[in-house]
């Protein structure tokens, strides 16, 4: 478990749970971003990933839930208490100029199977 650093400045990577909806519904963040959900409703909400990538506890009014996305991809989620509440976190890989091209040269087909036939003679020495 990571201990999230206290961030005094309010980041844009937060989702308000308000009026029985996630706001914004879709949030796009670079990989490594910690996303914060905050329940502004007077009812309890429970954020859970569709794929099981993350899950909050029951969030009552004013409570928050943090999750750090360390892998790029789409993370659809919903509220387990109110299944009609859905949202998606889109995590983009940080393209820092370096395009990662992996060129594989697998044209090496020199597979000689050398079967050496050694007939072992067992000498039976008696005496």
- Binding residues for Cu ion, rule: CB under 5 A, are 45, 79, 81-82, 85
The nearer residue to Cu ion, 72 or 81, going by C-beta atoms, is 81
The nearer residue to Cu ion, 31 or 49, going by C-beta atoms, is 49
Would you call the peptide bond into 41 cis, given omega within 30 degrees of 0 as the criterion?
no
Which residue in the block uniquely carries the two structure tokens 């478990």? 1
Report, in Å, the least distance between residue 108 CB and Cu ion: 57
Which residues, in sequence order, are bridge partners of residue 69? 33
Report, in Å, the least distance between residue 86 CB and Cu ion: 10
Tell me the torsion sign for CA atoms 46, 82, 86, 9.
negative
Report, in Å, the least distance between residue 89 CB and Cu ion: 17
Report, in Å, the least distance between residue 33 CB and Cu ion: 23
Residue whose beta carbon is closest to Cu ion: 79
The nearer residue to Cu ion, 79 or 91, going by C-beta atoms, is 79
Run of H or E residues at 74: strand 73-79
The nearer residue to Cu ion, 29 or 79, going by C-beta atoms, is 79
Backbone dihedral region for residue 53 (phi beyond 0: left; psi -120 to 50: alpha; all else: beta): alpha
Distance of CA 116 to the CA centre of its chain: 51
């Amino acid at each position: 478990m990571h201990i999230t650093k206290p961030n005094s400045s309010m980041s844009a990577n937060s989702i308000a749970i308000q009026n029985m909806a996630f706001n914004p519904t879709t949030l796009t963040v670079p990989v490594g971003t910690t996303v914060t959900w905050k329940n502004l409703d007077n009812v309890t909400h429970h954020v859970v990933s569709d794929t099981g990538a993350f899950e909050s506890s029951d969030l009552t009014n004013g409570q928050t839930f943090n999750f750090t996305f360390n892998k790029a991809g789409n993370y659809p989620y919903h509220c387990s208490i109110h299944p009609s509440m859905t949202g998606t976190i889109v995590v983009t890989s940080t393209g820092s100029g370096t395009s990662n091209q992996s060129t594989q040269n697998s044209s090496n087909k020199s597979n000689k199977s050398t079967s050496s036939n050694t007939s072992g003679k067992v000498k039976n020495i008696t005496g």
